[in-house]
Structure 1
């Protein structure tokens, strides 16, 4: 499709599925199992936190939002992915493509915003414990949580607005799903505005990473001062670090591949690199918190025990 008129492009083709033709059934089964696991672990953790009043604290509220965001982001990918695996035609409408971009990439930004907020919460709890309840009051936590959603959602809305104004000269996307940079590369003319705004937001979230690093430098210094601080750091910061490394590695793979990926890399490898941030963080984040945080783990075991006794 070479027409430069934006409105003439009604559909995009997703060429990433060309490498899945020979094993679509096992891939569908594994993907369905993965999505069921995502739903199970995230919903379980959300319900545990919501139903248990002893868990109505800032840290657990942030974990709950992390799980909600995991469900939100994966809902933008897996249903369409399942449909494409079972189909011989791999296309997506123009509007559907922009919607998928919006959901998946706003999910990634919200995820990182929540992790930055959690690092701030741990910094206050460990480095300034006497001020914790005043600094992390209910109104302030509500505002901070709102910002972790509103800022990324607004940022991605701006990116989609800029992308929707581009005149496109192609409709071929070399991925398993719609990705903003893949659409921008189809533009007939200059896409300087998209690149500039995109780099600004990348820098903005690199600032989040720098903030997290600075927070942990202070946390480590504080943890070395007393046994109590070391214990609190181990209990609450280690799972956060695991989740942070998990999300950061997955996003860096996708970002670097989207902008600088070589076509010489096998399609299967490219597919894996492109979707790992939609596989590992949504599964591992709730599992890490559910297993490591004693309060959540004990409560989940208790609720499971009560539920099993009722069904007997």
Structure 2
């Protein structure tokens, strides 16, 4: 397993992380036994970074990871946890809470559910527009000083919030969507992170499964699959974006790799400070993702794929309308 540093102040982690959200929420039903087997397989393969959130399945995902880690030594794993999302009993979102009191409360519950005495990287899932980011990061910094958190991260933060947060305490990484169909961070956010020594843990590298060989035309979604309510993955937008995936498929065929492996290799090639999070829910998909490490893109292949798919090529918003206001502005 290759390793990369989470910024200038964060830990060394595996070059690929495992995003565990889909094992509990938002992508339709998941098989518990297969989810546990996939986490075990990831750790056995050398993946050290597991990403979760306390609101994934409203605690279900943290409990799943707790159960998976009982067969592994805690020091082998870095747990990245997001908090702050407010939800109704029916699962609908109410916004985000970044108050210091909420930081400490959420952390206490996560430590209990995960059955651990510390979280390696802790971050609010979205900046709370009602609470200065300095207050939120300051509260996490208190948890670092108390030994309950090792490093501070951010998620979907814009440049101004990143700079303000970094002025309060060292920031290890920014978690943000970054893929061949979502390159909006390249103009401002990514340069700001590099200036400040902050790594990027890139989620959505496969555009929620769209950039793969496994997405059928006219895909039918279950009611609890968020992609069925997201413009990028439905209707005419989905058909157009699948045409872009066909472009990736042509390059993948020439390389002798899968579409997903090519997309992951692209993210890895964008810099040693980028750690792709792979949302594999099965051992089969995990094994495919790991194969990207053995097939890096050449400079010529990187140029070819970026010329074929420019930064603004994809159509449709990447989240449902009610979530768009909380996403990082891709401006200076």
Q: TM-score, normalised by structure 2?
A: 0.26
Q: TM-score scaled to structure 1, two decimals?
A: 0.27
> Which one has the bigger strand percentage?
2
Between structure 1 and structure 2, the one with the greater Rg is 1
